[in-house]
């Protein structure tokens, strides 16, 4: 286990996230009282694995809406968006406050240019389905997801 | 799952069939090379792959096998196309046609030494690397991308980014014929438009090396390698485009599993019959992404040539270009019958023996060069394919990771590692200190042991050992 980030700071979603070792890749775990807060922590955990987000300033906003049949697939769809925006446009979300919409979720995160942030690790390039989990647990909601870096 | 290994020889272990496994597992390794880290699921993954519909002979693991997702990295699986065999994008990996290209420069180590720092400065300044957009060749839009996806390195050479000779020394002559650019989605294209000619990040690199030792003089001469000769090894793949192609098609296949009546022990093994619309669509997109990967390495070759011309006034020739994340349609004899197979190699290299009809005339007598990158602090190897390789002419692809990135960062600092490498005579141009530390040599298996096990198992034999002089890290 590494870098647990429990968050009850003002303006941040309740819950926490951490990255855990995998031989070649990145595994992120997150937990929070609600599904949407847990999603927000998963996004934060993925982004903090490769850039330092402390003090990061968003330059523009993106309207992100994803839908999926299961909560696990919703998590994957949201992280797919993060990876895509990073690779295609060099953008990283500095906040994410997902809200439930019928069949999915919507967020309008502020996006920072990755070039303005200090790198802290290899960037994710894809979201895998290996060892994927997302559901109710001891913290309310818990998830685990593995990304290719 | 508890995995029991039976030793068949000092270089070969067997995982017996049980449960849903359709074939046994075969692991080529010595006892010392077997995965042993707590939680490492590589051998369980070998067993999981053995459950794929249509798999024949065995689920194979190479001496560098380590924990992946779905398939192990260092895994080989062939399915019978005409007997409901499946194709699995996870069996190719996200970085489609990730591979290695070796170049031989017209200069010896001693001659380059006074110019090495200048050469590394030029390479460090001109080779795009790291996360996000930025490549040597910015494509004008989808129409031009479709040309590149259809014809790969051939298109790059036609557009002046190389010489015709390069194509003869590239697997598939630089392009897979059955590429279908229409199966490559808009997001994949968008990610790829500005990344042609870039290393990317993670374990990708461009390394200036010297031939330290020749094991097989005849094969080395056929490959253009001589003791003390300077080489350049490029390790990279199809960047964001390949990752998006894999992502998109895994999602499609994951949703169609029930329709095909397939159940799997790991969702990342998502697959579809090769002959189904989903299977054909993926293979067309995969071939297109592979062509992107070959064009990518072709553009980086051009940057290397410019750097050597500028710093040392010498030319650079292609030795060979191999892909180690691929699925290919190949004919192999199974139970005495020639069968059309879909051979998945994930973190494994095709290794054709001498005389194989798919080899260009120049290499027919020697066999196919196999390029095995080690680490930036140890060595890399050139091997050559052997007759009698029952893993569908496949071999390892690298040293194989044993430490997680976390573990590497806990134990090594990038600045300290750079000092250590420079003290050992290796010039380093990192893209970040953390990225460098994550790739510390201790994070990998001993490449000498992996190469020896590969030879011992009869998968390929040693031709030359290469040592690093300078590293540009992705």
Give the residue from chain B lying closest to A22, CA to CA.
B404
Q: What is the mean pLDDT of residues B276-280?
A: 98
List of chain A residues whose C-beta atoms are within 8 Å of the C-beta of residue B244? 84, 87, 126
List of chain B residues whose C-beta atoms are within 8 Å of the C-beta of residue A148? 69, 94-95, 243
List of chain B residues whose C-beta atoms are within 8 Å of the C-beta of residue A21? 404-407
Percent of chain B whose pLDDT exceeds 90: 93
Residue B397 a catalytic site member: yes
Do A126 and B132 lie within an 8 Å CB cutoff?
Answer: no
- Around Cβ B4, how many Cβ atoms within 10 Å? 10
Q: Is B44 a residue whose pLDDT tops 50?
A: yes
Give the residue from chain B lying closest to A146, CA to CA.
B69
Instruction: Of A14-23, A33-42, B275-284, give the lowest mean pLDDT range.
Output: A14-23
- Check residue A10 and give its pLDDT: 47
- Are the C-beta atoms of residues B78 and B332 closer than 8 Å to each other? yes
Q: Is B125 a residue whose pLDDT tops 50?
A: yes
**Strands B380-385, B394-395: pairing kind:** unpaired
The angle formed by the CA atoms of residues B4, B8 and B13, to the nearest 5 degrees, is: 45
> Of the listed B243, B249, B397, B461, which one is catalytic?
B397
- Residue B391: in which H helix or E strand, if any? none
List the single residue in B67, B239, B243 with the smallest CB-CB distance to A148. B243
Shortest distance, CA A89 to any CA of chain B (angstroms): 7
Give the residue from chain A lying closest to B35, CA to CA.
A23
Do A129 and B66 lie within an 8 Å CB cutoff?
Answer: no
With cut-offs at 50, 70 and 90, classify the pLDDT of residue A5. low
- Check residue A7 and give its pLDDT: 54
Ramachandran angles phi, psi of B65, nearest 5°: -55, 140
Do B69 and A128 lie within an 8 Å CB cutoff?
Answer: yes
Give the C-alpha separation, B155 to B167, whole Å: 10
CB distance from A134 to chain B under 8 Å?
no
Do A2 and B406 lie within an 8 Å CB cutoff?
Answer: yes
Q: What is the mean pLDDT of residues A140-145?
A: 97
**Three-state SS sequence of B309-325:** HHHHCCCEEEEEEEECE
List the single residue in B69, B131, B203 with the smallest CB-CB distance to A130. B69
Q: What are the residue boundaries of the structural domains of chain B, listed by start? A: 5-402+444-473
Q: Which of residues 33-92 of A touch B (CB under 8 A)?
A: 50, 80, 83-84, 86-90
CB distance from B258 to chain A under 8 Å?
no
List of chain A residues whose C-beta atoms are within 8 Å of the C-beta of residue B270? 129
Shortest distance, CA B469 to any CA of chain A (angstroms): 24
Q: What is the mean pLDDT of residues B121-149?
A: 94
Q: What is the mean pLDDT of residues B98-102?
A: 98
List of chain A residues whose C-beta atoms are within 8 Å of the C-beta of residue B131? 50, 86-87, 90, 114, 119, 123
List the single residue in B247, B268, B401 with the smallest CB-CB distance to A130. B268
Instruction: Of A70-74, B134-138, B401-405, B425-429, give the lowest mean pLDDT range.
Output: B401-405
With cut-offs at 50, 70 and 90, classify the pLDDT of residue B17. very high
- Check residue A97 and give its pLDDT: 87
- Are the C-beta atoms of residues A104 and A74 closer than 8 Å to each other? yes
Ramachandran angles phi, psi of A142, nearest 5°: -140, 145
* pLDDT (tens digit per residue) in B388-439: 999 999 999 999 999 988 899 999 999 999 999 999 999 999 988 888 999 9
Interface-testing mutation among A84, A118, A123, A126, with chain B (most B C-beta atoms within 10 A): A126
The angle formed by the CA atoms of residues A37, A40 and A44, to the nearest 5 degrees, is: 140
**Residue B160 three-state SS:** coil
- Check residue B21 and give its pLDDT: 97
Q: Which residues contact B182 (CB under 8 A, 6 or more apart)?
A: B284
Percent of chain A whose pLDDT exceeds 90: 75
Shortest distance, CA A132 to any CA of chain B (angstroms): 8
Q: What is the mean pLDDT of residues B61-80?
A: 96
With cut-offs at 50, 70 and 90, classify the pLDDT of residue B201. confident
Q: What is the mean pLDDT of residues B264-285?
A: 97
Taking all residues of chain B, what is their mean pLDDT, rounded to a whole number? Answer: 96
Give the C-alpha separation, B373 to B444, whole Å: 11
Angle between helices B239-256 and A71-89 (to 10 degrees): 160
Instruction: Of A97-101, B244-248, B314-318, give the lowest mean pLDDT range.
Output: A97-101
Q: Is B330 a residue whose pLDDT tops 80?
A: yes
Do B68 and A127 lie within an 8 Å CB cutoff?
Answer: no
Shortest distance, CA A63 to any CA of chain B (angstroms): 17
Q: Any bridge partners for residue A130, and if so which?
A: none
Interface-testing mutation among A51, A84, A87, with chain B (most B C-beta atoms within 10 A): A87
Do B132 and A2 lie within an 8 Å CB cutoff?
Answer: no
Percent of chain B whose pLDDT exceeds 70: 99
With cut-offs at 50, 70 and 90, classify the pLDDT of residue B131. confident
Q: What are the residue boundaries of the structural domains of chain A, listed by start? A: 15-148
List of chain A residues whose C-beta atoms are within 8 Å of the C-beta of residue B73? 24
Q: What is the mean pLDDT of residues B37-48?
A: 87
- Check residue A4 and give its pLDDT: 57
Interface-testing mutation among A3, A45, A82, A88, with chain B (most B C-beta atoms within 10 A): A88
Give the residue from chain B lying closest to A2, CA to CA.
B406
| DSSP code per residue over chain A | -EEEEEE--TTS-SEEEEEEE-SSSEEEEEEESSHHHHHHHHHHHHHHTTB--TT----EE--EEEE-SSHHHHHHHHHHHHHHHHHHH-EEES----EEETTEEEE--EEEEGGGS-B-SPPP-EE--TT-EEEEETTEEEEEEEEE-
List the single residue in A120, A122, A128 with the smallest CB-CB distance to B202. A122
- Check residue B424 and give its pLDDT: 95
**Residue B351 three-state SS:** coil
Shortest distance, CA A4 to any CA of chain B (angstroms): 13
With cut-offs at 50, 70 and 90, classify the pLDDT of residue B38. low
List of chain B residues whose C-beta atoms are within 8 Å of the C-beta of residue A24? 66-68, 73, 203, 401, 404-405
Q: Which CATH architecture has domain B5-402+444-473?
A: Alpha-Beta Complex (3.90)
- Check residue A2 and give its pLDDT: 47
Q: Is B227 a residue whose pLDDT tops 80?
A: yes
Give the residue from chain B lying closest to A86, CA to CA.
B132
Shortest distance, CA B401 to any CA of chain A (angstroms): 7
Do B73 and A146 lie within an 8 Å CB cutoff?
Answer: no
With cut-offs at 50, 70 and 90, classify the pLDDT of residue B95. very high
Q: Name the nearest CA neighbour of A80 among B276, B118, B94, B150.
A: B94
Give the C-alpha separation, B21 to B32, whole Å: 26
Q: Which CATH architecture has domain A15-148?
A: 3-Layer(bab) Sandwich (3.55)
With cut-offs at 50, 70 and 90, classify the pLDDT of residue B37. low
Please tell me the pTM assigned to this model: 0.96
Give the C-alpha separation, A140 to A145, whole Å: 17
Shortest distance, CA B247 to any CA of chain A (angstroms): 7
């Amino acid at each position: 286990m590494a870098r647990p980030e429990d968050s009850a700071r003002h303006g941040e979603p309740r819950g926490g996230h951490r990255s855990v070792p995998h031989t070649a890749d990145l595994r992120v775990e997150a937990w929070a009282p609600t599904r949407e807060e847990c999603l927000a922590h998963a996004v934060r955990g993925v982004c903090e694995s490769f850039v330092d987000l402390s003090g990061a300033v968003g330059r523009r906003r993106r309207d992100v809406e994803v839908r999926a049949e299961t909560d696990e697939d919703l998590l994957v769809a949201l992280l797919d968006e993060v990876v895509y925006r990073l690779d295609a446009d060099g953008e990283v979300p500095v906040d994410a406050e997902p809200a439930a919409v019928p069949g999915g979720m919507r967020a309008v995160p502020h996006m920072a240019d990755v070039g303005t942030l200090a790198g802290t690790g290899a960037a994710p390039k894809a979201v895998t389905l290996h060892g994927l989990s997302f559901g109710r647990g001891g913290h309310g909601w818990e998830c685990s997801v593995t990304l290719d870096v | 799952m508890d995995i029991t290994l039976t030793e068949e020889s000092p270089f070969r272990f067997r995982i017996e069939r049980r449960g849903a496994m359709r074939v046994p597992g075969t692991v080529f390794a010595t006892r010392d090379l077997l995965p042993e880290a707590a939680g490492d699921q590589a051998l369980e993954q070998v067993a999981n792959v053995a459950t794929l519909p249509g798999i024949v002979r065995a689920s194979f693991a190479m001496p560098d096998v380590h924990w992946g997702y779905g398939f192990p990295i260092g895994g080989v699986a062939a399915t019978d196309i005409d007997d409901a065999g499946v194709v699995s994008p996870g069996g190719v990996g996200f970085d489609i046609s990730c591979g290695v290209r070796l170049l031989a420069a017209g200069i010896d180590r001693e001659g380059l030494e006074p110019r090495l720092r200048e050469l590394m400065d030029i390479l460090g300044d001109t080779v795009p690397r790291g996360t996000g957009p930025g490549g040597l060749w910015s494509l004008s839009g989808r129409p031009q991308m479709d040309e590149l996806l259809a014809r790969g390195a051939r298109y790059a050479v036609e557009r002046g980014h190389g010489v015709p000779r390069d194509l003869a020394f590239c697997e598939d002559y630089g392009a897979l014929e059955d590429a279908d650019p229409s199966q490559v989605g808009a997001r994949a294209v968008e990610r790829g438009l500005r990344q042609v000619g870039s290393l990317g990040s993670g374990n990708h690199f461009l390394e200036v090396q010297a031939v330290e030792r020749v094991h097989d003089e005849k094969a080395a001469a056929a490959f253009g390698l001589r003791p003390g000769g300077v080489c350049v090894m490029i390790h990279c793949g199809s960047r964001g485009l390949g990752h998006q192609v894999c992502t998109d098609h895994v999602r499609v296949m994951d949703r169609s599993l029930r329709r095909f009546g397939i159940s799997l022990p790991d969702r990342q093994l998502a697959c579809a019959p090769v002959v189904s619309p989903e299977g054909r669509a993926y293979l067309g997109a995969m071939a297109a992404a592979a062509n992107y990967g070959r064009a990518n390495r072709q553009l980086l070759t051009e940057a290397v040539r410019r750097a050597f011309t500028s710093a040392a006034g010498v030319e650079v020739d292609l030795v060979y270009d191999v892909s180690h994340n691929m699925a290919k349609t190949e004919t192999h004899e199974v139970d005495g019958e020639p069968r059309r197979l879909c051979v998945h190699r994930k973190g494994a290299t095709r290794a054709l023996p001498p005389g194989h009809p798919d080899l260009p005339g120049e290499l027919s007598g020697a066999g196919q060069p196999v390029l095995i990158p080690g680490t930036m602090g140890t060595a890399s190897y050139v091997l050559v394919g052997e007759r009698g390789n029952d893993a569908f002419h496949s071999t390892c692809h690298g040293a194989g990771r044993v430490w997680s990135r976390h573990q590497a960062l806990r134990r090594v600092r990038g600045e300290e590692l750079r000092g250590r490498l420079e003290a050992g005579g290796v010039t380093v141009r990192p893209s970040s200190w953390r990225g460098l530390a994550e790739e510390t040599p201790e994070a990998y298996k001993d490449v000498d042991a992996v190469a020896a096990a590969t030879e011992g198992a009869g998968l390929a034999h040693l031709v030359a050992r290469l040592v690093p002089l300078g590293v540009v890290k992705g």
